[in-house]
Amino acid sequence: MNELKLLEIENIELKLLIDAIYLSYGYDFRDYTKSHLKRRILRRVKLDNLKSITALTEKILYDKDTLVQILLDLSINVTEMFRFPQFFKDLRKHVIPLLKTYPSINIWHAGCSTGEEVMSMAILLKEEGLLNRVNIYATDINKKVLEIAKDGIYKVEDIKKWTNNYQEAGGKKSFSDYYVAKYDHVIFDQDLLKHVTFLKHNLVIDKTFINANLIICRNVLIYFNKKLQDHVLELFKDSLISGGIIGIGSKESLRFTSVNEKFESITTATKIYKKKIGC
């Protein structure tokens, strides 16, 4: 079988697998980018020593544990404390002063994964004296990563990098003040999570549930096609109060999307936008 024919068959198999997940379990990945889906699915086929994507489809249909693993494979779980420190530095400079004008603050962290960036936000808010009047809603499609996020316990191996990120982000204390090391893990101060509610939420099919002052959804949109990007951005627009702020990934943009005219740019490099008054 030539390479072109094999590629065609794989594309058909991939579509059937995604349709099977949607029809059997209600998880809709049909508007994720094909490159992302195919890369992650073929990786799972190889790890499970299967002959084809079709064989993986059969496993998913008859074994819900396989579905749990696939959801973990397909959800976006690349994260770290104070990832892209300039983003958090810009939050301190441009967004915190705006948040301080509100008596109470709602923040939605969409696609929170295992919670490192949520914890980073809680630390920043504590240092800025805002944590006690903030409600943070941290959501993800995947229950497994949410359980990790709720615990606030992480492997110690990344702590040096996270400390550097914190310092570059304008941290005001010693990063070690926020955690205790125990064996090969670090346990973060649980008081930081008192104002965080972790919820399962699917950006593809679930509706708005909050009037947010700030939404953070970084490096998630790049895995969606344009149709789904517009759908999710409309959801965020409807969830933000007038004058609310959204922060997205450095490789993402609101340009050429359905909500572009509804927002004005606050920062260029770190992609922080403000919803226009009246929109």
Domain limits, the chain: 3-74, 85-275
Mean pLDDT of 257-264: 96
Cβ(59)–Cβ(45) under 8 Å? Answer: no
Instruction: State the pLDDT at residue 7.
Output: 85
Q: Are 132 and 191 in contact (CB under 8 A)?
A: no
225 close to 31: Cβ distance less than 8 angstroms: yes
User: What tokens appear for 64 in the block?
Assistant: 């819900």
Rounded to whole angstroms, how far apart are CA atoms 165 and 160?
9
Q: Give the pLDDT confidence score for residue 262 in this predicted structure.
A: 97
Q: Is the pTM of this model over 0.85?
A: yes
Mean pLDDT of 240-247: 98
Residues contacting 97, CB < 8 A, separation 6+: none
Query: What stretches of the chain show up as alpha helix (H) in DSSP?
Result: 3-25, 34-47, 53-62, 64-74, 85-90, 96-99, 116-127, 143-151, 159-168, 226-239
pLDDT of residue 6: 81
Give the mean model confidence (pLDDT) for residues 76-91.
92
What's the topology of domain 85-275? Rossmann fold (3.40.50)
* 220 — pLDDT class (breaks 50, 70, 90): very high
Q: What percentage of the chain carries pLDDT values higher than 90? A: 87
Q: What is the mean pLDDT of the chain?
A: 94
pLDDT at residue 278 in the model? 85
> Using the 8-state DSSP alphabet, how is residue 91 labeled?
I
> Which of 35-49, 63-77, 127-141, 201-215 bottoms out in mean pLDDT, i.e. has the lowest?
63-77
In this structure, the number of other CB atoms found within 10 A of the CB of residue 260 comes to 12
**Mind listing the pLDDT tens digit for each residue in 200-216?**
999 999 999 999 999 99
Q: Which residue has the tokens 């004058």?
A: 243
Mean pLDDT of 265-279: 95
